[in-house]
Amino acid sequence: MSSYPPSSPAQPTTLRQRLAGLRGPAVPPRPLDARALAALAANPGCGRRALLDGAGVDKNALATALGSPAAFGQSQFAIVRGNSFEAKVKGDGGAELLRLVHAHLDPAAEPPGAGAHVPDLTAAGPEGRSARTALALREATAAKAWTLLDHPMLALEVAGSPAYLEPDAVVVHPDGRWTVVEIKSFPMIDGAADAAKVGAAARQAAVYVLALEKTAGKLAGAEVGHTVLLVCPKDFSNLPTASPVDIRRERSVTRRQLDRLTRVEELAAALPEGISFDPATRTAEELVEAVSAVDAAYAPECLAACELAFHCRDRARTTGAVTALGRSVRGELGALTTVEEALAAASGAGCAEDPTAAALHRAARLRAEALESAAGVGA
């Protein structure tokens, strides 16, 4: 008779354990930030990015191991310049920052004075900091006084996985309104900044607003403003100036796109057992196989937003996928998903009942007739 106790039934693997196995048990998860969430919301059909971001996989290290590294992020000089400018804006207890918020967004309120609150948001871990931020927002709303929250921590559930976000600042007005402040180091020349950079900042701020709304919904008298304040250097100096940015459209689009994301547990459950994206324990061939097991939705816009974009582009080109030509082309071609199918349809070899194939064939005929006519005129 065995002296060992009977073995207990295997315990089901939790989602946390499953995601840890995907990135590598010894690898700490990479936190999701607002920039990553904005990029994820811009391409909600990409299950590959949703899973990798949800699992906290280091996509930069993964792309390097796959042989398709992508250079992302600011230069060290830009980071130092940005940190220096932010420190200047928030100096003296945030007096200048609060003055800008008052002047641009709430001029009818009592001006912020020396008694404006700047609560300490220190706590252990992102969960602790998020709870401390929620408490500070509650206290500031009840106090009905100007309050500056410096780098608060906000929580937002994305595809069933928690994300912790850290805006530059959140200001609580005396009337209980909460305003997100984005501090950027790019210049605002003659009162206007680069439109592309402002758009990117607005999409990031929309993510912060969505996270704040979760907390505001639990507090009486709290309201999240849909106009954020963008603070930048004035002209070519280091002096701060500001401009209000209405982010209602970006908020609506981001909310809708995040809601469309497939939940992380569904994506993880569809993967084979034992799969991992850990470059330290897997060969390049194994990583290619692992990445290929998750559907992607590549588009040229990914090159500016995702570390795996070059790998996905190479795969799209290898398979002749029309996604490599852009979302607009992909949308126009309907059921024709490869360049080979589109060329076949143009030559008349496509399905006659497919309206897209018929339209391509007609366009090819008209083009050929136009070229033949032009050649005849030239002769």
Position 259: which residue type?
A: D
Query: What is the per-residue pLDDT for 325?
Result: 84
Give dist(CA 319, CA 292) in Å, integer. Answer: 12
Give dist(CA 277, CA 289) in Å, integer. Answer: 10
Closest CA to 321 of 297, 345, 302, 292: 297
165 contact partners, CB below 8 Å, separation of at least 6: 32, 33, 34, 37, 153, 154, 155, 156, 207, 208, 211
C-alpha pair distances (Å), 92 with each of 85, 104, 262, 317: 13, 20, 45, 54
Structure token pair of residue 222: 């709290």
Give dist(CA 342, CA 334) in Å, integer. Answer: 10
Give dist(CA 308, CA 259) in Å, integer. Answer: 23
Closest CA to 251 of 218, 225, 215, 220: 225
Query: What is the per-residue pLDDT for 3?
Result: 41
C-alpha pair distances (Å), 366 with each of 315, 346, 363: 33, 11, 5
Give dist(CA 83, CA 86) in Å, integer. Answer: 5
Is 215 in a helix, a strand, or coil? helix
Which residue is listed with tokens 């989602």? 15
CA dihedral 134, 135, 140, 146 (to 10 degrees): -60
Closest CA to 185 of 83, 93, 96: 83
* pTM confidence score: 0.76
Judge contact between 216 and 223, C-beta under 8 A: yes
Residue 178, beta-bridge partner list: 172, 224
Residue 325: count other Cβ atoms within 10 Å of its Cβ.
Answer: 17
Phi first, then psi: give them for residue 161, nearest 5 degrees.
-120, 135
Query: What is the per-residue pLDDT for 1?
Result: 39
Q: Extract long-range pairs of 315-322: CB within 8 Å, 24+ residues apart.
A: none
Structure token pair of residue 336: 């024709």
Give dist(CA 147, CA 160) in Å, integer. Answer: 32
Residue 375: count other Cβ atoms within 10 Å of its Cβ.
Answer: 9
Judge contact between 283 and 44, C-beta under 8 A: no
Phi first, then psi: give them for residue 139, nearest 5 degrees.
-65, -40
Judge contact between 163 and 208, C-beta under 8 A: no
Give dist(CA 369, CA 365) in Å, integer. Answer: 6
Judge contact between 204 and 51, C-beta under 8 A: no
DSSP state of 189: B
Q: Which stretches of the chain score pLDDT less than 50?
A: 1-12
Give dist(CA 304, CA 280) in Å, integer. Answer: 26
* Mean pLDDT, rounded, of the chain: 87
Query: What is the per-residue pLDDT for 360?
Result: 83
